[in-house]
Amino acid sequence: MQPHVALFCIALISALMLMGAYGFQYIGGLEPCQMCYWQRIPHWVALGLLAVFWVLRKKELLWLMGAVLLVSAGLGLWHSGVESGWLAPPTGCAGNIDWRGDTSAVLDALLARNPVPCNEIAWAFLGVSMAGWNFVVSFALAIFAFISAYCHLKETR
Protein backbone atom coordinates (compact mmCIF):
# COMPACT_ATOMS: atom_id res chain seq x y z
CA MET A 1 0.00 0.00 0.00
CA GLN A 2 1.28 3.43 -0.88
CA PRO A 3 2.25 5.60 2.11
CA HIS A 4 -0.23 8.34 1.23
CA VAL A 5 -3.08 5.82 1.15
CA ALA A 6 -2.01 4.35 4.49
CA LEU A 7 -1.78 7.83 6.05
CA PHE A 8 -5.20 8.74 4.69
CA CYS A 9 -6.77 5.50 5.98
CA ILE A 10 -5.27 6.00 9.43
CA ALA A 11 -6.38 9.64 9.56
CA LEU A 12 -9.86 8.67 8.39
CA ILE A 13 -10.22 6.12 11.18
CA SER A 14 -8.87 8.67 13.68
CA ALA A 15 -11.49 11.14 12.44
CA LEU A 16 -14.19 8.49 12.87
CA MET A 17 -12.94 7.80 16.40
CA LEU A 18 -13.17 11.51 17.21
CA MET A 19 -16.62 11.76 15.67
CA GLY A 20 -17.73 8.82 17.80
CA ALA A 21 -16.29 10.37 20.96
CA TYR A 22 -17.94 13.73 20.29
CA GLY A 23 -21.16 11.97 19.32
CA PHE A 24 -21.26 10.11 22.63
CA GLN A 25 -20.56 13.40 24.40
CA TYR A 26 -22.89 15.82 22.61
CA ILE A 27 -25.62 13.52 21.27
CA GLY A 28 -25.50 10.69 23.80
CA GLY A 29 -24.93 12.91 26.82
CA LEU A 30 -21.94 10.95 28.14
CA GLU A 31 -19.58 13.47 29.69
CA PRO A 32 -15.93 12.44 29.27
CA CYS A 33 -13.48 12.27 32.13
CA GLN A 34 -10.03 13.83 32.02
CA MET A 35 -8.42 10.64 30.66
CA CYS A 36 -11.02 10.53 27.87
CA TYR A 37 -9.97 14.01 26.78
CA TRP A 38 -6.31 12.93 26.79
CA GLN A 39 -7.12 10.03 24.46
CA ARG A 40 -8.53 12.41 21.86
CA ILE A 41 -5.31 14.38 21.48
CA PRO A 42 -3.33 11.75 19.51
CA HIS A 43 -6.21 11.38 17.05
CA TRP A 44 -6.15 15.14 16.45
CA VAL A 45 -2.39 14.90 15.97
CA ALA A 46 -2.94 12.11 13.42
CA LEU A 47 -5.22 14.42 11.45
CA GLY A 48 -2.60 17.15 11.66
CA LEU A 49 0.06 14.76 10.39
CA LEU A 50 -2.07 14.02 7.36
CA ALA A 51 -2.25 17.75 6.66
CA VAL A 52 1.53 18.03 7.08
CA PHE A 53 1.98 15.11 4.68
CA TRP A 54 -0.10 16.82 2.00
CA VAL A 55 2.16 19.87 2.26
CA LEU A 56 5.59 18.24 2.67
CA ARG A 57 5.01 14.87 0.96
CA LYS A 58 7.28 13.13 3.48
CA LYS A 59 6.47 9.44 3.56
CA GLU A 60 8.54 9.09 6.73
CA LEU A 61 5.57 10.60 8.59
CA LEU A 62 4.15 7.07 8.74
CA TRP A 63 6.71 6.28 11.45
CA LEU A 64 5.61 9.32 13.43
CA MET A 65 1.95 8.45 12.86
CA GLY A 66 2.62 4.99 14.30
CA ALA A 67 4.32 6.50 17.36
CA VAL A 68 1.44 8.91 17.94
CA LEU A 69 -1.04 6.06 17.77
CA LEU A 70 1.04 4.02 20.20
CA VAL A 71 0.65 6.93 22.62
CA SER A 72 -3.11 6.76 22.06
CA ALA A 73 -3.07 3.00 22.64
CA GLY A 74 -1.06 3.46 25.82
CA LEU A 75 -3.53 6.04 27.12
CA GLY A 76 -6.42 3.71 26.29
CA LEU A 77 -4.72 0.81 28.04
CA TRP A 78 -4.02 2.95 31.10
CA HIS A 79 -7.61 4.18 31.22
CA SER A 80 -8.92 0.62 30.81
CA GLY A 81 -6.70 -0.43 33.69
CA VAL A 82 -8.06 2.42 35.81
CA GLU A 83 -11.62 1.42 34.96
CA SER A 84 -10.87 -2.18 35.90
CA GLY A 85 -9.16 -1.20 39.14
CA TRP A 86 -5.81 -2.67 38.05
CA LEU A 87 -4.03 0.66 37.72
CA ALA A 88 -4.09 3.86 39.73
CA PRO A 89 -5.74 6.89 38.16
CA PRO A 90 -3.92 10.17 37.81
CA THR A 91 -4.26 12.53 40.75
CA GLY A 92 -7.70 14.11 40.89
CA CYS A 93 -9.15 11.94 38.16
CA ALA A 94 -10.92 9.26 40.16
CA GLY A 95 -13.63 11.63 41.32
CA ASN A 96 -12.91 10.84 44.96
CA ILE A 97 -12.95 13.89 47.18
CA ASP A 98 -11.90 14.11 50.79
CA TRP A 99 -15.15 15.10 52.49
CA ARG A 100 -13.42 15.79 55.81
CA GLY A 101 -12.57 19.34 56.76
CA ASP A 102 -14.48 22.54 56.40
CA THR A 103 -17.19 23.11 53.84
CA SER A 104 -15.24 25.67 51.82
CA ALA A 105 -12.36 23.21 51.34
CA VAL A 106 -14.79 20.55 50.07
CA LEU A 107 -16.44 23.09 47.76
CA ASP A 108 -13.04 24.19 46.44
CA ALA A 109 -12.17 20.54 45.78
CA LEU A 110 -15.45 20.01 43.92
CA LEU A 111 -14.91 23.08 41.77
CA ALA A 112 -11.27 22.24 41.05
CA ARG A 113 -11.84 18.66 39.96
CA ASN A 114 -13.45 17.09 36.96
CA PRO A 115 -16.78 15.74 38.23
CA VAL A 116 -16.65 12.70 35.94
CA PRO A 117 -14.64 9.90 37.57
CA CYS A 118 -12.10 8.11 35.39
CA ASN A 119 -12.61 4.78 37.13
CA GLU A 120 -16.23 4.27 36.07
CA ILE A 121 -17.22 2.79 32.73
CA ALA A 122 -19.81 5.05 31.11
CA TRP A 123 -20.50 2.78 28.12
CA ALA A 124 -19.29 -0.59 26.88
CA PHE A 125 -19.76 -2.72 23.79
CA LEU A 126 -19.15 -6.48 23.95
CA GLY A 127 -17.86 -5.95 27.48
CA VAL A 128 -15.17 -3.51 26.35
CA SER A 129 -15.27 0.15 27.40
CA MET A 130 -14.66 3.08 25.08
CA ALA A 131 -11.14 3.32 26.49
CA GLY A 132 -10.62 -0.36 25.71
CA TRP A 133 -11.83 0.13 22.16
CA ASN A 134 -9.51 3.11 21.80
CA PHE A 135 -6.64 0.84 22.83
CA VAL A 136 -7.61 -1.87 20.34
CA VAL A 137 -8.16 0.47 17.39
CA SER A 138 -5.15 2.70 18.12
CA PHE A 139 -2.82 -0.26 18.59
CA ALA A 140 -4.03 -1.83 15.33
CA LEU A 141 -3.54 1.48 13.51
CA ALA A 142 -0.05 1.87 14.97
CA ILE A 143 0.93 -1.61 13.79
CA PHE A 144 -0.57 -0.84 10.37
CA ALA A 145 1.43 2.41 10.18
CA PHE A 146 4.68 0.69 11.14
CA ILE A 147 4.15 -2.17 8.70
CA SER A 148 3.26 0.28 5.90
CA ALA A 149 6.35 2.39 6.66
CA TYR A 150 8.57 -0.67 6.76
CA CYS A 151 7.19 -2.06 3.49
CA HIS A 152 7.69 1.31 1.80
CA LEU A 153 11.25 1.47 3.16
CA LYS A 154 11.99 -1.98 1.69
CA GLU A 155 10.52 -0.95 -1.68
CA THR A 156 12.72 2.14 -1.91
CA ARG A 157 15.95 0.26 -1.26
pLDDT in tens, 88-139: 888 767 555 555 666 676 566 656 655 687 788 888 889 889 999 999 999 9
Q: What is the pTM of this model?
A: 0.78
d(CA 77, CA 125): 16
Phi/psi zone of residue 120: left (φ > 0), alpha (ψ -120 to 50 degrees), beta? beta
Q: In this predicted model, what pLDDT tens digit does every residue of 41-69 receive, in sequence order?
A: 999 999 998 888 877 777 778 889 999 99
Domain CATH code at residue 121: 1.20.1550.10
Residue 81: domain span: 3-156
Structural domain tally of the chain?
1
pLDDT at residue 69 in the model: 95
Higher-confidence residue: 110 or 84? 84
- Spatial neighbors of 49 by CB under 8 A, at least 6 apart, are 7, 11, 61, 64, 65, 68
- State whether residue 34 is helix, strand or coil: helix
